[in-house]
Amino acid sequence: MSLSKESVLEALRIVRMPGGGDPVSRDLIRALAVESGVVRFVLEGAPEAELAAAKPAIEAAVRALAGVESLTVVVPSGPAKGMGAGPKIGQHPTPQAGPQGVAGVRHIIAVGSGKGGVGKSTVSSNLAVALARAGKRVGLLDADIYGPSQPRMMGVQQRPASPDGKTILPLRAHGVTLMSIGLMLKEDEAVIWRGPMLMGALQQMLGQVAWDHYGPLDVLIIDLPPGTGDIQLTLCQKTRLDGAIVVSTPQDVALLDARKALDMFRRLETPVIGLIENMSSYVCPNCGHEAHLFGHGGVGAEAVKLGLPYLGELPLDLEVRLAGDAGTPVAAGEGPAAAGYRAIAEKLIAAGAV
């Protein structure tokens, strides 16, 4: 039998869980992905101690299958989303006298894009992990209130705690200190807020989160929503930003919107410390042919035209998508995709931006 989701599930049905039954019949296997010899899934839905005890046997059963080249099994910690007591996010902003820094944070860098779908959140999470692996103390704030994706990409589900009902203790994953509105909600729960509520939530996540809970940070990466709206305006006007990174694909339509993001940062007097071309190329895993599905070199040319730093290009890679879906960013491992993020992190460090 060739390697497939069905063959993986069949192998897992023979594994006995400490609490009885098997992980398949108990619906403990979530987000299973099987592609090109790479197997990834999340193991959840039972007490953490039971899942941890069963994990070695589960991994052994999958690795015994023919064709398995790589296996990642993620066991999230803490209760499921939307459960337990904790601080409430979402209120009207409080008055503030001018831009302020964030306690315990040395540098603050926003990652933005003119439009959605260019991989900005993927770049944010992987860049944060790459910087952490380079020895920097890194925080990651998911400021995409309407579409928070960092909890899934970073493999975190635990609801943040609050010792006093006001201070919010961030979580930690892959060496990165993390906070997201998605950690305060059920996974399929929509945020239906007008602008003032958005601005208040951002203010809370910057000011009430104890970003130095695990120690002072060298840099806080802020994953912005797409576009040039309330969140971007509030962040640039109310926070002392060291700079912004703009992510775009090389195609003309994406570049049109990327230019709007660049113009926004210019008008808000936020320095742009670099541009990144994402989905720059695709290499066929079967024949090795390189194709440029969205064009190539457009972002680099734009950087030269505007006199801005070009941080590099990142490929369209299946491994990046699988890693993000499984909660272990590809930058946490090795290989060509991880090397691309490592190179960008090294450029930022060499430039003194971090």
Burial label, 291 (beta-carbon count in 10 A; 0-12, 13-18, 19+) = exposed
Strand partners, 219: 107, 138
Pairing of strands 272-277, 176-180: unpaired
Q: Among 29, 56, 74, which residue terminates a domain?
A: 74
- Whether residue 51 is found in the same domain as residue 112: no
118 is in an annotated binding site: yes
55 is in an annotated binding site: no
- Whether residue 37 is found in the same domain as residue 132: no
Task: Answer whether 143's CB lies under 8 Å from 222's CB.
Answer: yes
Confidence of residue 6 (pLDDT cuts 50, 70, 90): very high
161 belongs to a structural domain: yes
- Whether residue 175 is found in the same domain as residue 63: no
Q: What is the mean pLDDT of residues 18-46?
A: 89
Q: What is the mean pLDDT of residues 328-344?
A: 92
pLDDT of residue 93: 78
**CATH code, 201:** 3.40.50.300
45 belongs to a structural domain: yes
74 is in an annotated binding site: no
- Whether residue 13 is found in the same domain as residue 59: yes
pLDDT digits (tens, 9 = 90+) for 137-151: 999 999 999 999 999
pLDDT of residue 83: 35
Angle at 121 (CA atoms; ends 52, 142), nearest 5 degrees: 75
175 is in an annotated binding site: no
> Within 10 Å of residue 56's Cβ, how many Cβ atoms?
10
Helix (H, G, I), strand (E, B) or coil at 23: coil
Query: Could you tell me which residue, 136 or 189, shows the higher pLDDT?
Result: 136
Element (H, E) at 291: strand 290-291
Q: Among 34, 56, 74, which residue terminates a domain?
A: 74
- Whether residue 134 is found in the same domain as residue 50: no
Q: What is the mean pLDDT of residues 41-52?
A: 85
How many angstroms separate the CA atoms of 137 and 285, rounded?
35
The set of residues, in sequence order, having a beta carbon less than 8 Å from that of 183 and lying 6+ positions away, is 81, 151, 156, 157, 158, 159, 160, 171
pLDDT digits (tens, 9 = 90+) for 294-304: 778 889 999 99
- Whether residue 67 is found in the same domain as residue 151: no
85 belongs to a structural domain: no
**CATH code, 33:** 3.30.300.130
117 is in an annotated binding site: yes
How many angstroms separate the CA atoms of 179 and 141, rounded?
5
Our count of domains for the chain comes to: 2
16 belongs to a structural domain: yes
94 belongs to a structural domain: no
96 belongs to a structural domain: no
pLDDT of residue 253: 83
162 is in an annotated binding site: no
352 is in an annotated binding site: no
88 belongs to a structural domain: no
91 belongs to a structural domain: no
Q: Among 53, 74, 95, which residue terminates a domain?
A: 74
- Whether residue 124 is found in the same domain as residue 271: yes
**Range 7-14 contact pairs with CB under 8 angstroms and sequence separation of 24 or more:** 7/65, 8/32, 8/34, 8/39, 8/41, 8/62, 8/65, 11/61, 11/62, 11/64, 11/65, 12/58, 12/61, 12/62, 14/61
Element (H, E) at 80: none
- Whether residue 147 is found in the same domain as residue 233: yes
73 is in an annotated binding site: no
Q: What is the mean pLDDT of residues 335-349?
A: 93
At residue 176, does pLDDT exceed 50?
yes
In 3D, which of 308, 228, 298 has the Cα closest to residue 275? Answer: 308
Domain that holds residue 45: 5-74
Query: Could you tell me which residue, 82 or 6, shows the higher pLDDT?
Result: 6
Query: Could you tell me which residue, 314 or 27, shows the higher pLDDT?
Result: 314
At residue 290, does pLDDT exceed 80?
no
The DSSP string of 205-250 is HHHTB-TTTTS-EEEEEEEPPSSSSHHHHHHHHHB---EEEEEE-S
Average pLDDT, the chain: 89
- Whether residue 266 is found in the same domain as residue 153: yes
- Whether residue 64 is found in the same domain as residue 136: no
- Whether residue 179 is found in the same domain as residue 320: yes
Least confident of 7-16, 169-178, 180-189, 286-295: 286-295
- Whether residue 298 is found in the same domain as residue 232: yes
